Amino acid sequence: MNPFIIEASILVRDDMLFGPVDFLAACHLSSTHWIYSTNAVKTAMPILTILEFPDTRLRTIAKPVAAVDERIRQLVDDMFETMYAAPGIGLAATQVNVHERVIVIDVSDDKSEPLVFINPELEPLTDELEEMQEGCLSVPGFYENVVRPERVRVKALDRNGEPFDRVLEGLLAVCIQHECDHLNGKLFVDYLSNLKRDRIRKKLEKIHRAQANG
């Protein structure tokens, strides 16, 4: 069998583990090496625990990433795996108890558009507001409408530490604002009334107590 085909078929089975960047790099390897790499990556990439509201660690303000190095790239890979497995379309490092300014997003249906934002800076580009129903992996099971600017510019570093600048609209605009809030210790439930937020808090605390009691 053509090694490339073997690689491709493995990629299909393990698509949760690799973004397009890793796939391109892997294509240069022999099939044997690729199989070995796949196994190595599997054991080296644990799914991270996602903190849940009202955990006070979610209120931590994340620090800028000082250098985009292998440690940060490993964090990015682990965050993608965790986000896809959840499943979710965005994850901030704060949610996995790492208080550095790293966000991963993929709003595609087939996990084909992974986006990495390191040290993101947001600028609203319009006064127009959009209301969209939001959920959050740190507030599981609850969905509420939140109003945000519908178009934003984001400046950030990519997974190689290269700066980029992008205008985001629609779902991506909502998602990047939601995730940047996480890096500032803010949750979407903060946009709700005290009454609604307290109700969600009490329900989640009850669930957490039940989980703790086995």
Of 10 and 136, the one with the shorter C-beta distance to Zn ion is 136
Of 26 and 197, the one with the shorter C-beta distance to Zn ion is 197
Tokens representing 73?
Answer: 């790239």
Of 136 and 176, the one with the shorter C-beta distance to Zn ion is 136
For Zn ion (CB under 5 A), the number of binding residues is: 1
3-state secondary structure of 125: coil
CB-hemisphere CA count at 13 Å for 140?
14
Distances (CA, A) of 157 to 104, 117, 193: 12, 6, 35
d(CA 53, CA 137): 9
CB of 76 to Zn ion, least distance (A): 17
CB of 137 to Zn ion, least distance (A): 6
Query: Is 179 in the active site?
Result: yes
CB of 16 to Zn ion, least distance (A): 20
Q: Which of 62, 118, 136, 180 binds Zn ion (CB under 5 A)?
A: 136
Do 182 and 97 contact (CB within 8 A), yes or no? no
**Near Zn ion by CB under 5 A, which window of 3-11, 34-42, 128-136, 190-198?**
128-136
Q: Residue 73: which H helix or E strand, with range?
A: helix 70-85
Question: Is 65 an interacting residue with respect to Zn ion (CB under 5 A)?
Answer: no
CA dihedral of 129, 131, 132, 138, whole degrees rounded to 10 = 90
Show contacts with Zn ion in window 30-59 (CB under 5 A).
Answer: none
Q: Which residues bind Zn ion (CB under 5 A)?
A: 136
- The catalytic residues are 179
